[in-house]
Chains A and B, each alone.
Chain A
Amino acid sequence: MKAIETKADYQKYVDEKTPNSPIWGNLFKAFIVGGAICLMGQFIMDYLTTGVGLDKDTASSVTSITLVFIGIFLTAINVYNRIGKFAGAGSIVPITGFANSIASPAIEFKSEGLVLGVGAKLFQVAGPVLVYGISTSIAVGLIYYLLK
């Protein structure tokens, strides 16, 4: 091996030395788990519309609330992080992952009190998702309004 002199050479050398994440395996796991969470949502939705007889809007709200509850419950009993380690984006993208991203800082920063701990840090992870999610929906809404 030749001596490494520059930062660029070192970066290149490190890139070669550093193993990549197993992308195909990760994609497959994300697909299975993400799909399973969505399937569960669909079952709840179908049960609420055909079984209970709720109208579609109410049923979709209740479905979201149920999934959020499940996400937070699994976070509280130290299970959701294990699912996340296995599934990656498969359990981050669905609404259960959003619930996890809010519940986990709440648990973590409880020790700093309800105001500066839980209150201030609650959206530490989910904050950017909200900011850019809401901003994007406003932009898309405006485009839709103008085109209509």
Chain B
Amino acid sequence: METKKLGKQSVKLVNPPSIAATYSIVGPKEGEGPLGKYFDAILDDEYWGESTWEKAETKMVKECIGNCIAKVQLSNSDIDYLLAGDLINQCTPSCFGSRETSIPFFGLFGACSTFTESLSLGSMLIDGGYATNVVCATSSHFCSAEKQFRFPLELGNQRPPSAQWTVMGTGSAMLTKNGDGPYITCLTTGKIVDMGIKDANNMGAAMAPAAVDTMYMHFKDTGRSSNYYDLILTGDLGYIGKEITTELMETRGYNIKNNYNDCGVLIFDKEKQDTHSGGSGCGCCASTFCGYIFNQMQAKKLKRVLLIATGALMSPTTAQQKESICGIAHAVSIESNL
């Protein structure tokens, strides 16, 4: 049997799928940020005409998927699989946002690593010959996430400097078998890495070792150097996590200072928007990629991108029971040319 496996944790896609289109929807704060002009839709408020934040997030998922499919002039019946996930208990925004699509659905949970988790699985489905078109969607909503994980929004408390700001954003990517790029060429699936960090206000530090592990394994498995990529982009490590990742990679012999960045650093203006260590949430990576990065790849300003969404696998209950935070990161190599 021909194996597509590369090294320990990676896969080289023999029939690399193309990203035919992306669609992104973000909240008002993200719209005011440095990447504002790249998003397809910017909402005026956190409710989008709905009565609750959860319903608003559901609507974001629904509209994002619908508009992504419409961009390539296909209809729902042309889509073989829909892979979607978010941060809310039981992934309800993804499930409810997909319920009227009539597309075979896989709900995913990988905390904030969900976007590359969905791209990885979607690519494998196409490469394996099980699908022609797959839609991958991921979302997070600042208010619904705060409500589930932290305190009520109106509570007058302070956030420490290491805290991050959950992005209100959704991103969908349409993967197709017969396209002309950008192509998803390689995948590196991360393993769970837990370096014992317990502080839920320092997610960047909790997730950075997972990002480092996946990045390192990707280079080792594929034999690529860090200079192979125009941009290595992690999902939501923020300023602290980004610094840690850069330094830890250096100890492993990789200098990524010049071509490495993080979506959580890019999406907000730290000084003007008061977002402390940067953006977080699975919508951070999804909307930054589907808005800004995909645009740059289409304009050929970026030709080789290694996207590594990073997740902190935890719940309020595990945090209260003093469990440490598990980190996870999945890498997807996206290239303009084969």
From B162, B195, B209, B251, contact of A19 by CB (8 A): B162
Which chain A residues (1-41) contact chain B, with CB distance < 8 Å?
1-4, 7-8, 10-11, 13-14, 17-21, 26
Which of A13, A18, A92, A111 has the largest count of B CB atoms less than 10 A from its CB?
A18
Let me know if A81 is at the binding interface, CB within 8 A: yes
Q: A108-119: contact bitstring with B at CB < 8 Å (1 yes, 0 no)?
A: 110100000000
Q: Once the chains are docked, how many angstroms separate the CA of A109 from the CA of B195? A: 35
Other 11 A-B pairs with CB < 8 A, given A17-B240, A108-B147: A8-B196, A10-B209, A11-B195, A14-B202, A14-B244, A81-B156, A83-B156, A87-B156, A88-B158, A111-B54, A124-B152
7 contacts between A and B (CB under 8 A): A11-B197, A14-B197, A18-B161, A18-B240, A91-B156, A104-B156, A109-B152
A2 with B205: in contact, given A83-B156, A97-B156, A111-B52 (CB under 8 Å)? Answer: no
Complex: how many Å from CA A24 to CA B247? 30
Asked if A142 CB lies within 8 Å of chain B CBs, one says no
Asked whether A75 and B154 contact (CB < 8 A) given A7-B195, A10-B209, the answer is yes
- What are the interface flags for B62-83 relative to A under an 8 Å C-beta threshold, 1 for contact and 0 otherwise? 0000000000000000000000
Report if A21-B158 is in contact (Cβ < 8 Å); known contacts: A1-B251, A7-B196, A104-B152: yes
Task: For B153, list chain A residues within 8 Å (CB).
Answer: 81, 104, 108
Instruction: Check A101 against B155 for contact (C-beta < 8 Å).
Output: yes
Residues of A within 8 A of B54 (CB): 111
B156, A17: Cβ atoms closer than 8 Å? no
Q: Which residues of A contact B195 (CB under 8 A)?
A: 7, 10-11
Contact indicator B196/A108 (Cβ below 8 Å): no
Contacts A81-B153, A97-B156, A125-B151; A1 near B205 (Cβ below 8 A): no
Complex CA–CA separation, A98 to B162 (angstroms): 26
A10-B209, A11-B196 known; A81 and B155 CB under 8 Å? yes
Which A residues are in CB contact (< 8 Å) with B297? none
When distances are taken between beta carbons in the complex, the residues of chain A under 8 Å from B121 are: none
Q: Is A59 part of the binding interface, using a Cβ–Cβ cutoff of 8 Å?
A: no
Alpha-carbon gap, A50 to B252, bound state (A): 74
Nearest-Cβ distance from residue A48 to partner chain B, whole angstroms? 26
Contact B197 A108 (CB under 8 A): no
Chain A residues with CB under 8 Å of B159's CB are 85
- Give Cα A79 to B303, complex, Å: 47
Q: With an 8 A cutoff between CB atoms, is B42 at the interface?
A: no
Closest to A90 in B: B156
**Given the contacts A17-B205, A17-B240, A84 and B161 also touching, CB distance less than 8 Å:** no
Q: Does B323 contact A (CB under 8 A)?
A: no
Determine whether B321 belongs to the interface, using a CB cutoff of 8 Å to chain A.
no
Known: A1-B250, A10-B209. A19 touches B156 (CB 8 A): no
Interface residue B3 (Cβ < 8 Å from any Cβ of A): no
Interface-centre pick from A17, A82, A83, A109 (highest chain B CB count, 10 A) = A17
Bound-state CA distance A80–B161 (Å) is 21
Task: Check if B320 is an interface residue, CB within 8 A of chain A.
Answer: no
Are B202 and A100 interface neighbours, CB within 8 A?
A: no
Q: Write the chain B residue with the least CB distance to A80.
A: B156
